[in-house]
């Protein structure tokens, strides 16, 4: 008959291919077996956010919206229309080829890109934490299922023993009735 593995053996088997140090592996084993492990990644990440992180998120949120794109296109068309058609070439703030507009766009792009990257990097960290949490939760679920499987096997084994015992008692009762 196949020997059933303990929870710790299962975890060790699952972690064999990972690059955890032995101390980290033991902590993970204890964490998985004995404690609830689910965490709210969003709350944990929100608690660590600085004012700069919040500003970067807001800028990324605004800069990545259709409202921003539409308003920016309207601004560009307005700038071009104002300097080309409304103002005379002498009064134009930025006559064709719109050098000032190019400077403004370059400055916006130079500032906007790193801010969006900061927000994306933090989102990637949050995704990584979420993935680690999902892995631990899945691993713990697997351990619980294995434990439940063992318990069900024990119950089935005991049930078979009880049924066998009841059948023997019934046969003994039938034989004693026949003998009377």
The per-residue pLDDT for range 22-42, each reduced to its tens digit, is 666 566 666 566 666 667 777
Q: Specify the number of domains making up the chain.
A: 2
Q: Is the pTM of this model over 0.85?
A: no
Give yes or no: residues 72 and 106 share one domain. yes
Do 28 and 76 fall into the same domain?
Answer: no
**Which residues of the chain are under the pLDDT cut of 70?**
1-38
Decide: 56 and 119 in contact? Cβ < 8 Å. yes
Same domain, 29 and 59: no
**Together in a domain, 55 and 99:** yes
Judge whether 17 lies within some domain: yes
Last residue of a domain, one of 70, 89, 121: 121
Structure tokens at 141: 């679920």
Q: What is the pLDDT of residue 35?
A: 61
How high is the pLDDT of residue 8?
A: 64
The pLDDT of residue 1 is: 46
Q: What is the pLDDT of residue 79?
A: 92
Are 115 and 62 members of one domain?
Answer: yes
What pLDDT, on the 0 to 100 scale, is given for residue 30?
A: 62
Ordered DSSP codes for the chain: -PPPPPHHHHHHHHHTTS---HHHHHHHHHHHHHS-----HHHHHHHH--HHHHHHHHHHHHHTSHHHHHHHHHHHHHHHHIIIIIS-TTT-SS-TTTHHHHHHHHHHHHHHHHHHHHHHHHHHHHHHHHHHHHHHHHHHHHHHHHHHHHHHHHHHHHHHHHHHHHHHHHHHHHHHHHH-
User: Looking at residue 150, what is its pLDDT?
Assistant: 86
């Amino acid at each position: 008959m196949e020997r059933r593995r303990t929870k710790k053996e299962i975890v060790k088997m699952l972690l064999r291919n990972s690059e955890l140090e032995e101390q980290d592996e033991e902590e993970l084993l204890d964490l998985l077996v004995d404690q609830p492990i689910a965490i709210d990644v969003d709350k944990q990440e929100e608690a660590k956010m600085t004012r700069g992180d919040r500003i970067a998120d807001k800028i990324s949120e605004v800069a990545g919206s259709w409202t921003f794109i539409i308003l920016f296109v309207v601004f560009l068309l307005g700038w071009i229309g104002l300097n080309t058609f409304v103002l005379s070439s002498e009064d134009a703030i930025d006559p064709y080829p719109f050098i000032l507009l190019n400077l403004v766009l370059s400055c916006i792009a130079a500032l906007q890109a790193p801010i969006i990257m900061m927000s994306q990097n933090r989102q990637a960290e949050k995704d990584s934490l979420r993935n680690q949490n999902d892995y631990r939760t899945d691993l713990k679920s697997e351990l619980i299922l294995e434990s439940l499987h063992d318990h069900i096997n024990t119950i089935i084994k005991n049930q078979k023993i009880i049924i066998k015992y009841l059948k023997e008692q019934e046969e003994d009762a039938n034989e004693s009735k026949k003998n009377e």
